[in-house]
Structure 1
């Protein structure tokens, strides 16, 4: 499935740590959203690299990058300390994801109604439980498919964090070494992925195929991001950082070439299973990028704003594809694409300022009061 997320993309968590170069994470979020945009717009508008032999057709793996980034951002909850308040945690996650999604869903429902399409699967989309079949997941907006995966990750994260914390406590008291629970969790996630892959039937969309596109099949991608966070807590020599970055970039290029070479003969669902390899490469690139010096001026501002608008862009870009096609037919692909991108940017800013950011700030403020016994704390 081509788009996640992140992204739905979640906001920075206070547990990431003051030393973490969050500007790099924001820049990767922006890139992930642009990859998703390129995957959905490129072929339709004739953009470079999206033809039958174009490597940029592999841009649909931007959703896998979103999953890796989510795992990185929430790694402290998983590997360091569980959430202090489930109520506060739940409120923050709901208000970070759902209000902007609901506003975007209302837009796509209105577009479907105006086009005379039946408003099918609406209850499932309202509950963000629409990843039950390809047709249901893609009905209003193909990019919506990854949001239930993010929500599923948020739901299991506190439980997994508590389980791992219990394992650390037991290991500290035990006189003999134990296999770390985080390693067991990674092996279990990988085993589930491979088992479901063997049982999945993309043509019939059987239960294994559906679970392959939920947390049981995609948890390993989140765990890759968590591993990057854990490794980044220790200094990484410059030579090692270059090696990780080169390995990640080489792997992505190889996967893109393989995807292009197989796309003519392999079944369509096989390309989606390259996402795990892409997630591994993105994890290597993310680890390498964390060693970069913080940029200044326009580069830093672009990284920050790209990250802030990544969720809005992810939600809204498909609404502007039809105008882009119409304007391209009238004025040419370059002018039509430019006008549609300008409209998309304006709508992303409106959604961010009017819905996403106010909901995020209110949720963070309320959650901090709950976590600190009713004492209000400043909003970062």
Structure 2
């Protein structure tokens, strides 16, 4: 759901004019140079692609399939291809883990450029107006188009009775609630597009980010993380348990990503995080899967902690002295690289996929099966083969122009640096 790392890292946070001294100019130049030289990180795009596909297929199974319990009761221990394929989708029961992955990545990407600049120039200040303008032009044209598309697809689905229970209100009030990112506070998500509940949180994260950045400058990122964690706990008790979804209840996951960006920016070049972070990540992720049985909210918090541990380690610089693999290992690495390229490409248009997949699934189910759940798992794969290319087209027609429009508001020096790369 968040911007590509390169777009968010280098120039989304232009410098406010500092005092005209040689020392401040030198510090500014160092910060600008370091932020501009920070390239696109492959692991971020790969994880964004994984998260988008996880969430999309998680919803796909809910829309078209009867579910694992009903399937097992009907099919039993069959070893037919269809049964094996269905059983292999069992981990997708925790597919909503893609949401906290998105939150952590978003916090990392948004804060990365500012963190790098602060290292070079501790006096650096965020240009709040420009930041909000770029966030607005990046998000709202795409959101508006997604809402219009949802209205069009849901209008077709409503003509195919029995009407899917996934379709909620598609009137003007619901449209405006979602357009202004108030779903979860002033209303429900729009039509069949239930995934939009997280987008309101993202917009709220962006709105409050200047405050987080100012606190980072004054008290440091560790203290900021502790404060946000306390707010997160209080908000969960006061709001989330009453089904009021506000950013404060999920702020910790986003701030964890920002904390990682800050830690990586301040770290020594070539420094590597301890390997036990992978073990800790696995423990949190497994804990989240267990907690999911009791409720989604607690699972989200554990998954966010787990992915943050994983990301902190995965962002380590690569070892350039690796030996050339041979045999099966070489084949394995070739397949792994190819899969990473595919996932990275999906990561490029993950925002579009996230925004439009559910209305597509609901329309397909209404048209093909009159909204009845299917025993076979195969239709779910077909649905994905429709949604992913459709999301790519949406990305090319809507999201990419919005990204270019947003980029046009970059500060002059930063734009010059980017154009020279």
TM-score range normalised by the length of the shorter chain: 0.7 to 0.9
Unaligned ranges ≥5, structure 2? 12-34, 73-89, 119-123, 160-168, 320-332
1:135-165 CA distances to partner (integer Å, 9 max, x unpaired)? 5135441111111211111112123213432
| Residues 79-125 of structure 1: per-residue CA shift (max 9 Å, x gap) | 45466533432232122211221111101112333417651412222
Deviation at 1:379, TM superposition (A): 8.8
1:298 is matched with 338
Q: How far apart are the structure 2 equivalents of 1:8 and 1:70?
A: 9
Asked if the contact 1:33/1:313 (under 8 Å) is kept, the reply is yes
Cα-to-partner distance string for 1:164-189 (whole Å, 9 max, x where unaligned): 32x2xxxxxxxxxxxx4423322221
User: 1:267 corresponds to which residue?
Assistant: none
* Contact 1:24/1:303 (<8 A) preserved: no
What residue is the counterpart of 1:174 in the other structure? none
- The aligned runs of 1:97-136 (5 Å cut-off) are 97-114=139-156, 115=158, 119=171, 120-132=173-185, 136=188
Q: Residues 217-228 of structure 1: matches in 2 within 5 Å? A: 217-228=249-260
Q: For the aligned residues, what is the CA RMSD?
A: 3.5
Other-structure match for 1:185: 224
Corresponding residue of 1:251: 284
Structure 1 residues 191-340: aligned runs within 5 Å: 191-200=230-239, 202=241, 205=242, 209-210=243-244, 213-233=245-265, 234=267, 235-237=270-272, 240-241=274-275, 243-260=276-293, 262=294, 270-291=295-316, 293=318, 298-325=338-365, 327=368, 333-340=376-383
Tell me, in whole angstroms, the C-alpha distance in 1 between the residues paired with 2:109 and 2:227: 21
* Contact 1:83 1:89 survives alignment (8 Å): no
> Matched residues in 1 for 2:71 and 2:377: separation?
20
CA distance in 1, matches of 2:193, 2:5: 17
Structure 1's unaligned 5+ residue stretches are 168-179, 263-269
Shift, 1:65, TM fit: 0.9
The whole-number CA distance in structure 1 between the counterparts of 2:233 and 2:61 is: 31
Structure 1 position 352 matched with structure 2 position 395: yes
Tell which deviates more after alignment, 324-333 or 345-354.
Answer: 324-333
Equivalent residue pairs, number: 343
Contact 1:8 1:311 in 2 (8 A): no
CA change 1:287–1:19 in 2 (3 A) is same
Structure 1 length-normalised TM: 0.77
Post-superposition offset of 1:335: 4.3
| Equivalence for 2:57 | 38
Is the contact made by 2:63 and 2:362 (CA closer than 8 Å) also made in structure 1?
no
Equivalent of residue 137 in structure 2, options 95, 104, 108: 95
Give the drift of 1:359: 1.7
Q: Tell me which structure has the larger Cα radius of gyration.
A: 2
Distance in 2 between the 1:20 and 1:8 partners? 11
Cα distance change on mapping 1:50 and 1:36 into 2, 3 Å: farther
Deviation digits for residues 360-379 of structure 1 (CA, Å, limit 9, x no counterpart) = 11320x213x4449979629
Q: Give a deviation string over 1:224-262, Cα, whole Å, max 9, x none.
A: 112222333434447x23x211221232123213423x3
Once the two structures are superposed, residues 292-324 of structure 1 have per-residue CA deviations (whole angstroms, 9 ceiling, x without a partner) of 749886345324312111111101110222355
Question: Are the aligned partners of 2:126 and 2:213 in contact in 1 as well (CA < 8 Å)?
Answer: no
Q: Is the Cα–Cα contact under 8 Å of residues 50 and 57 in structure 1 kept in the other structure?
A: no
Aligned partners of 2:141, 2:376: CA distance in 1, in Å? 33
Judging changes above 3 Å, is the alpha-carbon distance between structure 1 residues 237 and 159 closer, same or farther for their aligned structure 2 residues? closer
| Deviation at residue 331 of structure 1 after TM alignment | 9.8
Q: Do the aligned residues in 2 keep the contact of 1:27 with 1:303 (CA within 8 Å)?
A: yes
